[in-house]
Amino acid sequence: MESYVNEFINYLAVERGLAQNTLESYGRDLRQFHTFLQNSQLDFIRNSNRETILSYLNNLQMKGRAVSTISRNLAAIKSFYQYLVRERHIDKDPAVNLESPKLEKKLPKILTIAEVEELLKQPNSLQPTGLRDKAMLELLYATGIRVSELINLNISDVNLDMGYIKCYGKGAKERIVPLGSIAAKCVQEYINKGRSKLVRTYEEPSLFVNHHGNRLTRQGFWKIIKKYAMEANITKEITPHTLRHSFATHLLENGADLRSVQEMLGHADISTTQIYTHVTKNHLKEVYDKTHPRA
């Protein structure tokens, strides 16, 4: 099965242009499925049937895996078997007509404007790393890009004179996102005074680098934002996407139209963007309850 999985992952990368994180998730999920089959003394071709797959999904549920994780596993398995049928490695698709479990739509956690401002004040701009962190946080809140898109930015992707950045989202889709003047100023200051002290070679293309002069990782950024949230006394749960969610919600609260926000976020389907309208409605209800004399 390993060779088929590698072949499939290569197909997803080359033919469908899926992001590296997605490729890694699919590969990991399929290898876990293979391990389950081996432990059950089953073969992924001879014993491939609806019951086998349902048994695996039930096993994940018994282990306490989240609905989103089970749904992602099923998506990987279904895509894998569809590929095997198309390439004529197997005759029938055992995963056909299997439906993903219903996902509970969770409203994204956001920060208030005051909390965002407090978070953005935390980096020490007298240090190269502080200049970098300030630029990253300002850039995330100004553009709403994903953390993976942030850390993959190169110097050449930023046009500070024109006020935009070029990034590559899911499926390696390129999009142009406008950049506010404050964020542009912070990025320029980082490039002029901070980045030059962190990089080890002039050939390094990465915009944001770590202490070793290499491209900053997602895990590295995760530690950074948690540190500043703690220093800002923000008790809400912070995730790498918190500023992205806050960006979208604050735009909608201030009158931005849904289509524009969808384009800036890089959502393929507007239904993904619509979840932020529920957040703004909740916010309006809170404001009403706190301020109306007869609420």
Positions annotated as catalytic residues are: 146, 170, 241, 244, 267, 276
CA 201 – CA 206 distance, rounded (Å): 11
239: its two tokens: 């995730």
Q: Please report, in angstroms and rounded to a whole number, the separation of the first and last CA atoms in the chain.
A: 62
Task: Give 171's contacts (C-beta < 8 A, 6+ positions apart).
Answer: 16, 17, 18, 19
CA dist., res. 34 & res. 5, Å (int): 10
Integer Cα distance of 222 and 167 in angstroms: 20
- Rounded to whole angstroms, the Cα distance separating 16 from 29 reads 18
CB 216 within 8 A of CB 208: yes
Quickly count: other Cβ atoms within 10 Å of residue 209's Cβ. Answer: 21
Radius of gyration of the chain (CA): 22
In 3D space, the residue among 234, 283, 275 whose CA is nearest the CA of residue 254 turns out to be 283
Q: Quick one: angle between helices 275-291 and 242-253, nearest 10?
A: 70
CA–CA separation, 242 and 279 (whole Å): 13
Give the CB-side neighbour count of residue 177, counting CA atoms within 13 A. 34
Rounded CA-CA distance 217/198 in Å is 15
Cβ proximity of 98 and 50 under 8 Å: yes
